[in-house]
Chain A
Amino acid sequence: MTLRERLLLRRLRDRDERAFRELVDEHRDKVFNLTYRMLGNRAEAEDVAQEVFISVFKTVDSFREESKFSTWLYRVTVNHCKNRIKYLARRHDRDQDQLDDAVDKTVAAAIGTGIPMTRPDRQLEGAQMEKLLQEAISQLDEEHRVVVVLRDIEDLSIEEICEITGLPDGTVKSRLHRARLALRKKLQRHL
């Protein structure tokens, strides 16, 4: 951990609101991207990201500084996502029609605002691929989804994933293999 992180943690433990705001500003995109890729829905991702930061603030005393702060933050985020996935599954609320399509909105917005797009056909193609990928990720089991998102989207190392998930190296690798295989099968026509 860097000295700056240690100082920030000390201020957080003193319930310094400004320190909390700094923490949120620094990590919100990372946390939100992970929750979004895990849940595939912007509203749910936003809600879970909020809960993550509230949990971090409430439980910062329990962080022993034996791991990197970002690893701990990822662990809290992953746990919240897993809980939300289970909750949504129980409520049968995983309606794929509600799957968010931020990309389509972005492309549409870009066209609407006249932002130059050299190859709109390619961009649209990319947007569609992104939507398909997100749908395919959302259909994976939670245990496979976690590893593939952390490895292939967040670009974390296998060691970091082991630390975040508490799983042994071999389990992470085999889940990663199964996850990619499942994605390949789902998206074979589009690759």
Chain B
Amino acid sequence: MGPADGDTQTIHEEIEALLSEYVEGTLPVADTERVAAHLAGCAGCRSAEADERAIRAQLGSLRPQAAPAELREQVTDTIHRRSAGRFFARRTLGDRVPLGLLLVVALAMLLTIVAALWASATGSLRDPPSRPEAPPATGEPVVPAP
């Protein structure tokens, strides 16, 4: 096989690689024109193009398969069986709200309560303020003599 044969083979392979998109009509204009020009003069690639179209048509003509009528009952029965009847039960708040979120909210509420107690005058968590020391008892009367 000479260099020219190799080049020709490469061109066929390039065109072959573009055929899928060419048939789908999704190739850019320049590539579409290049493929169309090549196909006009190449019986082998035209045959490949015809096969490509044929296989797509055959795949597209496969008849849709209908699901068995009992599928719905089978699925719901399986769910009931696996969950011992609990799966379709109405959800509680605990089911609807993620546990992590509940924990965060609980922690935030706890911190708020602690902060409120800390800041309040009554029921404070702080140590009671230290009182001024009482004057030493001297035995003298507090009230001065008139």
Contact = CB atoms under 8 A, between A and B. Distances in A.
B67 interface: yes
Interface of A is mostly: helix
Given A15-B87, A15-B88, A24 B72 contact: yes
B59 A148 contact: yes
A130 to B, nearest CB: 6
Nearest to B88: A17
B59 A29 contact: no
A133 B60 CA distance: 11
B76 A130 contact: no
What band does the interface of chain A fall in when counting residues whose beta carbon is under 8 Å from B? Answer: 35 or more
A155 to B, nearest CB: 7
Interface string A7-21: 000000111110011
Contacts of A181: 16, 20
A109 interface: no
B63 A191 contact: no
Given A20-B76, A29-B67, A153 B60 contact: yes
B142 interface: no
Nearest to B18: A177
Given A133-B59, A176-B20, 18 more contacts: A15-B87, A17-B76, A20-B76, A28-B67, A29-B66, A33-B64, A42-B65, A49-B67, A50-B78, A53-B75, A54-B75, A126-B61, A130-B62, A153-B62, A173-B21, A180-B52, A180-B56, A181-B20
Interface of B: 16-17, 19-21, 26, 48, 51-52, 54-56, 58-68, 71-72, 74-76, 78-79, 82, 87-91
